[in-house]
Amino acid sequence: MPCIPCFPDDYNDLMELTETMLSGMVKELTGGYKIEYHANGVSNPPIEIDFTPPFRRIDMIQELEAMANLNIPEDLSSDEANKYLIAACAKYDVKCPPPQTTSRLLDKVCNAYTELNDPVVQRQRFEEQLKDRQSGDDEAMALDETFCTALEYGLPPTGGWGLGVDRLAMLLTDSQNIKEVLLFPAMKPQE
Q: For the chain, what is the domain count?
A: 1
Residue 165 included in any domain: yes
Nearest to 158 by CA among 116, 105, 119, 102: 116
> pLDDT tens digit string along 126-174?
888 888 888 888 877 788 889 888 888 887 766 777 788 888 999 999 9
Position 105 in a domain: yes
Residue 60 pLDDT level (bands cut at 50, 70, 90)? confident
Per the CB < 8 A criterion, the answer to whether 37 and 167 are in contact is no
121 falls within a domain = no
Supply the pTM of this predicted model.
0.61
Residue 84 falls within a domain, yes or no? yes
Band of the pLDDT at 4, cuts 50, 70, 90?
A: very low
Residue 126 lies in a domain: no
Q: Is residue 107 part of a domain?
A: yes
Q: Which structural domain, as residue segments, surrounds residue 86?
A: 11-115+157-173
**Of all residues in the chain, what percent carry a pLDDT higher than 70?**
88
In a domain, residue 122? The reply is no
